[in-house]
């Protein structure tokens, strides 16, 4: 074994081998994989080997599509067969709600280049005759589904990587990881120490233990999982003979089962409700090629439904039940990327569907390591997406919930209960007493809306408008006409200080930094000129002679942004970034009476001139030391008030008492989001994501190309000079009783006109080079955009996609935001657009100006 390597990949499961292959393919020569035992010695060897492309997150779906198309490539390079069976598969809906869910998934597929099709139960039965189709109301067909040989596939990656020069060391456990002052990792193994620049945790079932070697508790847990194999079945053989085809894969939501042909019989697996974690605290190092004891009682309820839905299978003898563990993160998606706070320590773990996702994970991670950037939008699997609140026990509760709900519908207004409450603000009990319906916002309990007194504070989950509608309307109306108060602890808050803080921020942000006491809004770009942040920044008075800035941003992106900030901090330690998290909480008051209310609580003049729109001031509010921004996301006259948690109750009480004479109401997050819609304000992670450029995102006025050289400036200047293909726009939709949720297709009546290929971007063309120096940009499916495949219906064509929307209660309109070709973005003609909501196309019209206070006068008064 060599003693030095550029990168050491720990773990020889399907994921580690894929990472190794992609690093080798990207041209890294000096790389090695270290495996404790033999390849596939974790969960990879006993997987059911199924693969599919569908995923709730379109970007993860794209990576799954890449994985599937990669198999041919690794077979060719390695000479090792993956035993690919591309059978196609169906998802069966047993209720109208489930059919709505499939319609949504199908609609998303329209612009993602997927060939899904909605079919009848009888059509599904023709491809899988073992089912009783009368149990179902409809189905969705996906041709890109199938199964493969897990062991062969893992070896194919490994052999291909070896052929490209990578080294694989077997039967050698990594026992310790330490880091030198210069950043070099000491990878201490049973056979000696390897000095490495980069370490990758592909430890699968032991990923948590490897994390602990570097002081990180990764939110990952292994669950037991069972599938059964039947004896050969004459019906299967007969079907194969008469059709010349293999039976397809079937996913039955109601039964929580998946099933497909395996040799001459059937394989049937369950995601049972009574699920069971495996080794919940630590994984034994001596666990090898072993199976767990099957527990038929646990899966009996699923089997009972399964046998009813697929009576053909009930008759077959069971040959074997496989029970094996595999890992999940809280939301079922992988944990990929550099771990914030560490240098050159990378993760590619918690990959619960290694044979659907392993290729995409390997590609993303190798791009990130080799080129400094994953090259496409991988937020859905970024290891930075969970906070410190995702502790061992939290993870245990959430993973169990996620596993048991794997085939359940998640409604757009559904808040899941496990591991809650985790974090609460001092106002938590008060909000509950106020009949708040609470939601989980990055681990923090946050009021969503306030149910009328005497009614149960509970959402009725639905794809349609629900029981919160009337209450939110009232919250919005009272706020817009008088004044409302809401909690805003669920924002990210940072302080940047030290000599040169302003220059540092000017280098990171697209807008000019504010003068002392003023606020700016500013996007942040990566080197490729793509949006990676959207912040509110205030310049506070100097402390100890040092420059000081306060920054507010998206709560969920805190670790993602900290990772970026830390990467760009000067190495001399002159600039400090403090992330407050929940050590700073907030309240926002908004509405025409908010100034009169606040004036009663402060001892300084806050008249229009004395405390202008976009001013920042440190002042006592109701006797508590606070920071106050004259700005609000409602787009009205309003204030954000920030304080230490110890003062939050005091300030809230003062606001409530002073607000009585003005008709103050409490409002929740949903009212806030409704109000931002009627101002055409975008949101981070919906309208604004790393797949969009700042001009595409219609952020033009916040991009100051002339101010100084900032990260992404050159690419942004190019985007502006060349003009964008896409543009973010806002719509008013003639909806019925359901509003958009996000990802719906936008149709336009374009007749014979050609607006070019409309593309939903995933990658952003990060330049990449292979070992010979040849550019490999956009060379594979995952990096390219999904062409909207010219879905045509007469004069109508799908031209774009929705990012978010809902009901704008004050203007009483259903609204949506999304991306369309730039040439259509200012065309507000009636009859030009339709947006597909739950399978029904509804007329929509672009509204260029926000319907509420288009001139912005109200927030400036
Ligand atoms: C019953 C069952 C059915 C499944 N069905 C499917 C399916 O149909 N489709 C699908 O896509 N997925 C399926 N899966 C999941 C799939 O198996 C996993 O997604 C995949 O195996 C994860 O691969 P991995 O490389 O991340 O982890 P693992 O396979 O666990 O590999 C991790 C490797 O790291 C090594 N390692 C750990 N620590 C160290 C150390 N300190 N030093 C050296 N080496 C170390 C281990 O020995 C192991 O070989 C199934 C899983 C089970 C259990």
CA neighbours closer than 13 Å in the CB half-sphere of residue 101: 21
CA of 42 to the centre of ligand 1 (A): 5
Residue with tokens 């993870």: 395
Distance 35 CA to ligand 1 centre (A): 12
Strands 665-666 and 484-487: parallel
Provide mean pLDDT across the span 41-62. Answer: 86
Mean pLDDT of 344-348: 98
Spatial distance between the Cα atoms of 614 and 539, rounded to a whole number of angstroms? 11
Residue 369, pLDDT > 70, answer yes
Mean pLDDT of 196-224: 98
With bands split at pLDDT 50, 70 and 90, how would you rate the model's confidence at 791? Answer: low
H runs (alpha helix) in 335-407: 354-371, 392-404
Q: Is it the case that residue 783 has pLDDT exceeding 70?
A: no
Cβ–ligand 1 distance for 497 under 6 Å, the answer no
For the cut 50, the answer to whether the pLDDT of residue 788 exceeds it is no
Q: Which two structure tokens, joined as six digits, stand for 472?
A: 């939110």
258 lines ligand 1 (CB under 6 A): no
Hey, whose CA ends up nearest to atom 41 of ligand 1? Answer: 174
Q: Judge whether residue 261 has pLDDT over 70.
A: yes
The β-bridge partners of 446 are 439
Alpha-carbon gap, residue 718 to 699, rounded angstroms? 15
- 223 ligand 1 Cβ < 6 A: no
Can you tell me the mean pLDDT for 628-643?
97
State mean pLDDT over 430-437: 98
pLDDT band at 116 (very low <50, low <70, confident <90, very high): confident
Dihedral of the alpha carbons of 371, 375, 380, 385, in degrees to the nearest 10:
40
Q: Is the pLDDT of residue 616 over 50?
A: yes
Determine the distance from the C-alpha atom of residue 377 to the mean position of all C-alpha atoms in its chain, rounded to a whole number: 9
778-782, 786-790, 806-810: range with lowest mean pLDDT: 778-782
- Tell me the average pLDDT across 100-120: 81
Confidence of residue 754 (pLDDT cuts 50, 70, 90): low
Taking phi over 0 as left and psi of -120 to 50 as alpha, with beta for the rest, 742 belongs to: left
| pLDDT at residue 545 in the model | 84
HSE, side-chain direction, 13 A CA sphere, residue 164: 27
Considering only CA atoms, which of 699, 687, 688 is closest in space to residue 805? 687
Indicate if the pLDDT at residue 765 is higher than 80.
no
Q: Where are the alpha helices (DSSP H) in 88-149?
A: 96-111, 121-127
256 lines ligand 1 (CB under 6 A): no
79, 68 in Cβ contact below 8 A? no
- Ligand 1 near 173 CB (within 6 A): yes
Q: Is the full-model pTM beyond 0.85?
A: yes
Q: Report the separation in Å between the CA atom of 601 and the middle of ligand 1, taken as the mean of its atom positions.
A: 59
| 137 C-beta closer than 6 A to ligand 1 | no
Burial class (CB in 10 A: 0-12, 13-18, 19+), 193: middle
Mutational test site, ligand 1, from 144, 193, 205, max ligand atoms within 8 Å of CB: 205
* Dist CA 43 CA 599 (whole Å): 63
Residue with tokens 């349609």: 464
Is 227 a pocket residue for ligand 1 (Cβ < 6 Å)?
Answer: yes
| Residue 150 CA to ligand 1 centre (angstroms) | 10
Q: Is the CB of 212 under 6 A from ligand 1?
A: no
Arithmetic mean of pLDDT, 669-691: 95
The pLDDT score that the predictor gives to residue 358 is: 96
Rounded to whole angstroms, what are the CA distances from 167 to 82, 185, 769?
21, 18, 22
Q: What is the pLDDT of residue 856?
A: 94
Which of 8, 12, 13 has most ligand 1 atoms within 8 Å of CB, for mutation? Answer: 13
Q: Whose CA is nearest to atom 34 of ligand 1?
A: 11
Handedness of CA 757, 763, 765, 768 (dihedral sign): negative
Band (315; pLDDT cuts 50, 70, 90):
confident
Ligand 1 neighbour 37 (Cβ under 6 A): yes
pLDDT computed for residue 729 by the predictor: 97
Rounded Cα distance between 126 and 741, Å, is 34
**How many angstroms does the Cα of residue 14 sit away from the middle of ligand 1?**
7
Q: Is the CB of 206 under 6 A from ligand 1?
A: yes
Whole-number average pLDDT of the chain? 93
In short, whether 322's Cβ falls inside 6 Å of ligand 1 is yes
* Contact (Cβ atoms closer than 8 angstroms) between residue 508 and residue 444: no
The pLDDT value given to residue 761: 56
- pLDDT at residue number 57: 77
For 61, 325, 511, 536, 584, the CA distances from 578, given in Å and listed in that order, are: 35, 40, 21, 16, 11
- Taking the CA atoms of 167, 168, 169 and 175 in sequence, report the sign of the dihedral they define: positive
């Amino acid at each position: 074994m060599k003693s030095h390597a550029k990168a050491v990949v720990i773990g020889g499961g399907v994921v580690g081998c894929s990472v190794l292959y992609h690093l080798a393919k990207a041209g890294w020569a000096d790389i090695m994989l270290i495996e404790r035992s033999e390849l596939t010695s974790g969960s990879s060897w006993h997987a059911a080997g199924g693969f599919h492309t569908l995923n709730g997150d379109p970007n993860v779906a794209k990576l799954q599509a890449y994985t599937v198309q990669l198999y041919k490539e690794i077979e060719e390079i390695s000479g090792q067969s993956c035993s690919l069976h591309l059978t196609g598969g169906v998802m069966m809906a047993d209720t109208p709600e489930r059919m709505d869910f499939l319609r949504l998934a199908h609609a998303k597929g329209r612009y993602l280049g997927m060939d899904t099709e909605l079919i009848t139960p009888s059509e599904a039965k023709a491809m899988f005759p073992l089912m009783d189709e009368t149990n179902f109301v409809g189905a969705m067909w996906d041709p890109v589904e199938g199964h493969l040989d897990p062991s062969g596939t893992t070896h194919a990656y490994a052999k291909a990587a070896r052929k490209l020069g990578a080294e694989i060391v077997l039967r050698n456990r990594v026992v310790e990881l330490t880091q030198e002052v210069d950043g070099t990792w000491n990878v201490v193994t049973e056979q000696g120490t390897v000095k490495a620049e980069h370490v990758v945790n592909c430890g699968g079932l032991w990923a948590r233990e490897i994390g602990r070697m570097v002081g990180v508790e990764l939110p990952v847990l292994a669950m037991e999982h069972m599938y059964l194999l039947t004896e050969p079945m004459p019906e299967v053989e007969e079907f194969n003979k008469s059709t010349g085809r293999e039976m397809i894969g079937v996913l039955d939501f109601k039964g929580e089962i998946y099933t497909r042909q395996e040799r001459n019989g059937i394989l049937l697996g369950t995601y049972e409700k009574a699920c069971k974690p495996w080794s919940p605290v630590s994984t034994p190092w001596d666990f090898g090629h072993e199976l767990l004891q099957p527990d038929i009682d646990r899966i009996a309820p699923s089997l009972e439904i399964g046998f009813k839905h697929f009576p053909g299978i009930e008759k077959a003898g069971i040959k074997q039940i496989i029970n094996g563990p595999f890992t999940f993160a809280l939301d079922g998606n992988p944990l990929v990327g550099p771990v914030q706070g560490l240098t050159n320590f990378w993760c590619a773990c918690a990959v619960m569907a290694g044979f659907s996702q392993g290729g995409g994970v390997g590609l993303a991670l190798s791009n990130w390591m080799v080129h400094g950037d994953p090259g496409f939008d991988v937020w859905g699997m970024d290891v930075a997406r969970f906070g410190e609140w995702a502790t061992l026990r939290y993870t245990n509760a959430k993973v169990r919930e996620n596993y048991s709900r794997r085939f359940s519908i998640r409604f757009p207004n559904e808040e899941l209960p496990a591991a809650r409450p985790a974090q609460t603000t001092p106002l938590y009990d008060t909000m509950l007493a106020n009949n708040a319906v609470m939601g989980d916002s990055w681990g923090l309990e946050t009021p969503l809306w306030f149910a009328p007194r005497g009614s149960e504070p509970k959402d009725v989950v639905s794809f349609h408008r629900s029981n919160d509608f009337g209450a939110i309307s009232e919250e919005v109306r009272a706020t817009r006409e008088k004044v409302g108060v809401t909690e805003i602890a669920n924002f990210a808050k940072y302080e940047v200080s030290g000599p040169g803080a302003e220059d540092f921020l000017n280098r990171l942000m697209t807008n000019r930094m504010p003068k002392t006491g003023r606020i700016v809004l500013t996007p942040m770009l990566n080197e490729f000129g793509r949006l990676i942040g959207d912040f509110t920044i205030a310049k506070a008075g100097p402390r100890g002679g040092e420059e000081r800035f306060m920054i507010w941003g998206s709560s969920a992106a805190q670790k993602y942004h900290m990772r970026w900030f830390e990467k760009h901090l000067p190495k001399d330690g002159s600039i400090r970034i403090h992330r407050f998290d929940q050590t700073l909480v907030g309240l926002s008051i908004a509405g025409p009476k908010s100034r009169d209310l606040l004036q009663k609580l402060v001892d300084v003049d806050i008249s229009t001139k004395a405390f202008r729109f976009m001013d920042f001031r440190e002042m006592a509010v109701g006797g508590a030391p606070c920071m106050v921004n004259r700005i609000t996301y409602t787009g009205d006259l309003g204030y954000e008030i920030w304080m230490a948690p110890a003062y939050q109750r005091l300030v809230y009480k003062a606001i409530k008492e002073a607000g009585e004479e003005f008709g103050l109401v409490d409002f929740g997050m949903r009212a806030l989001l409704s109000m931002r819609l009627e101002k055409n304000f975008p949101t981070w992670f919906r309208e604004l994501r790393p797949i969009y450029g700042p001009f595409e995102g219609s952020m033009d006025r916040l991009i100051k190309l002339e101010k100084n050289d900032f990260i992404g400036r050159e690419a942004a200047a190019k985007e502006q000079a060349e003009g964008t293909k896409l543009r973010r726009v806002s719509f008013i939709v003639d909806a019925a009783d359901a509003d958009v949720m996000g990802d719906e297709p936008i149709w336009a009546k374009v007749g014979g006109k050609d607006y070019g290929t409309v593309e939903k971007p995933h990658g952003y063309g990060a330049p990449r080079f292979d070992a010979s120096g040849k550019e490999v940009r956009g060379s594979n499916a995952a990096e390219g955009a999904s062409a909207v495949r010219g879905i045509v219906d007469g004069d109508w064509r799908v031209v774009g996609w929705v990012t978010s929307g809902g009901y704008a209660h004050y203007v009483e309109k259903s609204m949506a935001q999304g991306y369309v070709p730039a040439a259509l973005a200012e065309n507000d003609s009636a009859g030009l657009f339709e947006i597909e909501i739950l399978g029904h196309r509804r007329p929509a019209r672009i509204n260029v100006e926000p319907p509420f206070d288009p001139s912005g006068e109200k927030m400036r008064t």
